[in-house]
Structure 1
């Protein structure tokens, strides 16, 4: 069972990150998108591309980043393929890591999983 405190901290971090992207002009399309292959925390549409965002919250940005593991990245890629499967033609996309520290600051790493 997931610790309720951690669950609510994660939801709050996702809200902070969503607001960050919205201020930059992105349109939020999905939150906590689930497919048979995995989950994506936030999905945005930019002017030219889809942006899939993994949100991690911890005391520091470094400890948050360290919590993104290779197996999780594979699941995010697979879930993104599921999400994009109904779209015709080639679609530009990007995979970001959005890190939230203990005071709510956000650091975004664009194309984090390359």
Structure 2
């Protein structure tokens, strides 16, 4: 594989997973508000509204189970980064005080099957 090609494939995998996750959320009647919000402290893949609750969603996508289930990649460090980004988003959008939670959507793309999507609601608490 040429230099840099692996990271390109990883980005494409991530984009595909985020698209699948957004479609999954829309099927559940969530309203997508923002995607790929980045700031100095971190990043949030999808920000959605579930009724009156803001939902900050981390999407993890894998092609195999070789590295374990995708949700295991949402480590305490990653949770802190997502939390920082969520707080920044809330501040920039004047949304402090609204009900919010953190979900994880774990997607496994197996060559022979339809994508396996696991939606973990309220996966973790705000991490500092």
Question: Could you tell me how far 1:45 is from its partner in structure 2?
Answer: 1.3
**TM-score, normalisation: structure 2:** 0.82
1:99 matched to 2:106: yes
After superposition, what is the alpha-carbon deviation per residue over 1:72-108, rounded to whole angstroms, capped at 9, x for unaligned? 1001011101111142551100100100012322101
Question: CA 1:63 to 1:83, structure 2 compared with 1: closer, same or farther past 3 Å?
Answer: same
Larger radius of gyration: 2
Task: Describe how 1:68-107 pairs up with structure 2 within 5 A.
Answer: 68-85=74-91, 86-87=93-94, 90-103=97-110, 104-107=115-118
Higher relative contact order (CA 8 A, sep 6+): 1
CA distance in 1, matches of 2:25, 2:103: 11
Give secondary structure in 1 for the equivalent of 2:123.
Answer: coil
Residues paired across the two proteins, number: 114
- Which residues of structure 2 form unaligned runs of 5+? none
Higher strand share: 2
After superposition, what is the alpha-carbon deviation per residue over 1:16-36, rounded to whole angstroms, capped at 9, x for unaligned? 000000011111111110112
1:38 matched to 2:42: yes
After superposition, what is the alpha-carbon deviation per residue over 1:13-67, rounded to whole angstroms, capped at 9, x for unaligned? 000000000011111111110112100000001211100000001124x521121
Moved over 6 A (4+): none
